[in-house]
Structure 1
Amino acid sequence: MALSFLSLGRLSEIGAGDDLAASIARAAPPDLADGDVIAVAHKVVSKAEGRTVRLAEVEPGTRARALAAEHGKDPRIVEVVLSECAELVRAERGVLICRTRHGLVCANAGVDASNTAAADELVLLPLDPDDSARRLRAGVAAARGVAPAILVTDSFGRAWRLGQTDVAIGVAGLVALDDWRGRE
């Protein structure tokens, strides 16, 4: 068994409503096959799904203003983070550690301001990353006649430590968890 990693060809800038699956299918290598795995950054998935927010349209509430003042953050960003998280787990040294509605524990509820189309734009996590992966897989299969597995990924920092890691937040075509309880 061999394991190899290839990057897709360059994708054009993706915006709300764009057919991301078709773009991935065009950018994938000609020998794309069943059994291959395509990892897709959540940011491009979120952009295609319209999961972006303009800061100019955000009115921070009392809690967001207080947290922002305490932690040196933009109150509009804090408001978006609070609206995206199920629970604020901890706020310390300018970092908001949240549990998302998906159950992920991460900084800022996955709200991201990097690599956006505009300086005042934030990218949110997909509403249902597993469904996003399923739809991408179906779209690639329709375009190419093969159904590679799809991972929707996000980079996670390690709270109060250096470094990043990439985490699969959505999956289609792979078993994400295998329950071994009661098996030997």
Structure 2
Amino acid sequence: MQIIPVFIDKEIEPNDDLSELIIDSQDIHDGDVLIIAQKIISKQEDRIVELSSVIPSLLAEGISSEYEKNPKIMQLILNESKQIIRMDRGIIIVETNNGFICANAGIDESNVRNGFVTLLPLNSDLSAEHIRNDISKKTNKTVAVIISDTFGRPFRMGQTNCAIGISGMNPILDYAGTKDSFEKTLRVTAIAIADE
């Protein structure tokens, strides 16, 4: 098994054949775990918004003036969120529509043309499953796919990668019921191997 970060040497466009681009970018073997950046998926699925097309609501205008946010981005944050968890110093922590707790609903201005932002995929697990199935059909290889994004952590500097979509593997390695080095039975230890 190899864990392979996917690098694609072209700007991804909506409806590009991602599985074909991935197959062309490296050798695929049975058991490989392919890690794909969320931004690639968002671009391919046309989860890109031109900010000039966004009309902020009064709520978005009010929050943005209080918390130093672009009101158009604030409107997108509201659109992509179930609830706001916390707002402080220009950072808006939300629960996204697909259940992630993150800053700004995952909306990102980096690695996209000026005046545009990317949104998180609508269903990253389904996106991973489609890519995995397509690669398996085209190569006759069994692979796993992880869609990864960077998340901040409370009270810690820096960001870390986190699996937001998975297909073809169990994302948790559960040690509950096994023994530790002193023969005590572990009860709750479960490692999020997809994030590692």
TM-score (norm 2): 0.84
Report the equivalent of 1:114: 110
- Offset of residue 142 of structure 1: 2.1
Report the equivalent of 1:39: 35
What SS does the corresponding residue of 2:60 show, helix, strand or coil? helix
Report the equivalent of 1:17: 15
Does residue 80 (structure 1) correspond to residue 52 (structure 2)? The answer is no
- Offset of residue 159 of structure 1: 4.1
- Offset of residue 61 of structure 1: 0.4
Does residue 143 (structure 1) correspond to residue 141 (structure 2)? The answer is no
Counterpart amino acid of 2:102?
C
Alignment of 1:145-160 (within 5 A): 145-159=140-154
- Offset of residue 6 of structure 1: 4.7
Gaps of 5+ in 1: none
- Offset of residue 177 of structure 1: 3.8
Q: State the identity %.
A: 36
Structure 1 window deviating more from structure 2 (173-182 vs 55-64): it is 173-182
TM-score (norm 1): 0.89
**Contact 2:5/2:35, CA 8 A, preserved across alignment:** no
- Output the CA distance in 2 between the equivalents of 1:111 and 1:8: 22
Larger RCO of the pair (alpha carbons < 8 Å, separation 6+): 1
- Output the CA distance in 2 between the equivalents of 1:149 and 1:124: 24
- Offset of residue 143 of structure 1: 2.2
**Contact 2:129/2:145, CA 8 A, preserved across alignment:** yes
Gaps of 5+ in 2: 179-184, 186-196
- Offset of residue 101 of structure 1: 1.6
Q: 2:170 aligns with which of 148, 168, 175?
A: 175
- CA spacing shift, 1:72–1:160, aligned 2, 3 Å: farther
- Output the CA distance in 2 between the equivalents of 1:135 and 1:6: 18
Does residue 94 (structure 1) correspond to residue 90 (structure 2)? The answer is yes
- Output the CA distance in 2 between the equivalents of 1:160 and 1:74: 25
- Output the CA distance in 1 between the equivalents of 2:122 and 2:7: 27
Give RMSD over aligned pairs: 2.0
Counterpart amino acid of 1:108?
N
What SS does the corresponding residue of 1:125 show, helix, strand or coil? coil
- Offset of residue 99 of structure 1: 0.5
Report the equivalent of 2:25: 27
Report the equivalent of 2:101: 105
Structure 1 window deviating more from structure 2 (142-151 vs 102-111): it is 142-151
**Contact 1:107/1:159, CA 8 A, preserved across alignment:** no
> Could you list the runs of 4 or more consecutive aligned residues of structure 1 that deviate by over 2 angstroms after TM superposition?
3-11, 158-161, 176-184
Does residue 128 (structure 1) correspond to residue 123 (structure 2)? The answer is yes
Structure 1 window deviating more from structure 2 (101-110 vs 174-183): it is 174-183
Counterpart amino acid of 1:109?
A
Between structure 1 and structure 2, the one with the greater Rg is: 2
What SS does the corresponding residue of 2:15 show, helix, strand or coil? coil
